[in-house]
Structure 1
Amino acid sequence: MLLQGLHKLVGKPPCVLCQLSPAHRHSVCQDCWSNLPWNQEMIHRQELNIIAACEYRYPMDRIIQQFKYEQQLQFQTLLAGSLICKKLPRVQAIVPMPISQERLVERGFNQSVLIAQQLARQLNTPVWQPIIRQHQHAQKGLSRVERLEGIHQQFKIDSRIQTRYRKVLIIDDVVTTGSSVKALTEQLENIGCKQIHIACLAAAKI
C-alpha cells in the first residue's frame, strides 16, 4: 500500500512555493495552499465592492512581487487559481487592468492580462481590452485629490474597439485605495457596461 502511494507521487511536479511536497492544486502543495492569507469577505474601496482572493501580506505579497517585477511566471497558475476558487460572477467578458506602454516595455508583459487569460480559459469567457492606459505618472508628492485626478486622466477609451459587452469582470493584481479600478469602472460605464464586477489577487490595508 505504501509503495502504491509512493508510486502515485512519481512524476508529480513539486510545489512552486516550498519545492518539497508534490503539487496538489494550482501548482501548490496542500500545506502551502492552506497557509495563503486568504480573504474571506468582500472589500470596499471608492464605493465599489471588490472580491479579493487574499490579503496583501506574506507570502502572497512576495509571490505577486516576484511574478510582477522579477518575471517569475511559474506563479501564474497559483495566482489565477486563487481567484478561480472564489465564487466569481457570471459575466460576458473579463477586463484586465491596463498598464501603460512604458510599463509594458519595462516588464515585458501585463500581469493582469496573464491572469485574465488563464481565468478566461477556465470560465470560457473572452478577454476584452477596450480601455488603454496612458503614461502612468509618478504620484509621489501629490495631494490625494491630485492623485485621483491624475489616475482618472490615464484611462482612455480605445476607439478601435468595435465589440461591446454589458456585463464584465475587472481583474487587477493588487488593490489598495481602489483609485485605478474606480477610474477603469467609470470608463467602462461610458462605453455601455451596465454590470461591472471587480476581483483582485490581493487587497492591501489602507
Structure 2
Amino acid sequence: MAAVAANLPNRCLLCQQDIIQYSAAKPHTGVCQTCLVAGLYQQEVCLGCGKSMPLLQVYCGHCQHIEPMLVIAPCSYHQGLGELIAGIKYQQQCAPLAALVQVLAVRGMDLAARGLIQLPQVLIPVPLHRNRLKQRGFNQAWLIAKELSAQIGIPMDDSLLVRCVDTKAQAGLNGKQRRLNCADAFTLQRDNPYQRVALIDDVVTTGTTVNEISRLFAAHYTHVQTWCLARAEAPGLL
C-alpha cells in the first residue's frame, strides 16, 4: 500500500502543480509551498477580532477595552486557503491537513515566543454531537487537534468536553440565531483540572461556539484560547 501511495500523483489542490518535496522524512501533500505561503496573513492582525494592524500586539484599540477571547490562526478563510479547509470538512479531502496544521503550529509558537500568549496545557477539540459524528464519520477538529498535539507536544484531551445537544449547522445563521443555537449545547463530563486550555476547531467565524464553551471553563477560572486553521473575519476588517 505504501509503495502504491508513493507512486500516486502529488499535486497541489489549488494550483494543480506538482508539489516539490523539501524533506523526505515528512512528505508535503495537498498544497504546495507557494500557495500555502500566499494564503497566510500578510500583515499583523488583532488576536481578538482579526482586524489588520500596523504593528504586532495582542489587541486592536477597540478590543483592548473588551478583551475578547484570543483566536490563534495563521490565515483568513477568505484569502486563499478556505477552499482547502472546506474540503477537509465537507469532502473528506485531508491531504493538506498536516501542512495547514504546521502553519498554525508555527503561528502559535511564534506568538508565545514573542510573549503575546501563554501556551495552553492541553488541546481540546470542539466536539460533534454523536448523531452528527455518525453522519459525517469524523470530526475535523479532532483530526486537527491530534496532528497539532503531535507537532508541538501539547497533549490532547477529547474526553472532558462533550456536545450534549444536536444543534443545527451554524452556516447560514445570523449572530442571534447562532447564539440561540449553541446555548447550553456543551457540558463538561468531569472536574476540570486545567488552568489554560486551547479549543481547537477548523474555522472561527462569529466565535459563538467557542464563546459558549468558554463560559463553561470560566466557571472554573480557566483561561481559554482558540486555535484554528483559519478565521472568517467580518467584512472589511482585512
Give the structure-1-normalised TM-score: 0.80
Match of 2:3 in 1: none
Please state if 1:49 is matched with 2:80: no
Q: Note the 1:7-22 alignment, pairs <5 A.
A: 14-17=10-13, 18-22=16-20
Q: How big is the shift at 1:96?
A: 1.0
Pick one of 59, 73, 79 that aligns with 2:80.
59
Question: Which residue of 133, 144, 147 maps to 2:178?
Answer: 147
Q: Which has the higher strand share?
A: 1
Q: For residue 227 of structure 2, what is the aligned residue in structure 1?
A: 199
Structure 1 position 115 matched with structure 2 position 144: yes
Q: Does 1:128 align with 2:157?
A: yes
User: Please, which moves more after superposition, 168-177 or 129-138?
Assistant: 129-138
Aligned residue for 2:120, secondary structure, equals coil
User: How far is 1:124 from its partner?
Assistant: 1.7
SS in 1 for 2:74: strand
1:48 maps to a residue whose letter is M
Instruction: State the distance in 1 between where 2:182 and 2:157 align.
Output: 21
Length, aligned pairs only: 193
Distance verdict in 2 for CA 1:51–1:156, change over 3 Å = same
Q: Measure the CA separation in 1 of the matches of 2:37 and 2:173.
A: 40
Aligned pairs for 1:157-172 (under 5 A) are 157-158=188-189, 161=190, 164-172=193-201
Task: Give the 3 Å change call, closer, same or farther, for CA 143–31 of structure 1 in structure 2.
Answer: closer
Q: What amino acid is aligned across from residue 90 of structure 2 in structure 1?
A: Y
Aligned-residue Cα RMSD (Å) equals: 2.8
1:22 CA displacement: 1.3
Range with bigger deviation, 44-53 or 179-188: 44-53
Preserved contact between residue 37 and residue 57 of structure 1 (Cα < 8 Å): no
Post-superposition Cα deviations, 1:116-157, rounded to whole Å, max 9, x if no partner, equal 011111222211131111201356897744531331221122
TM-score (norm 2): 0.70
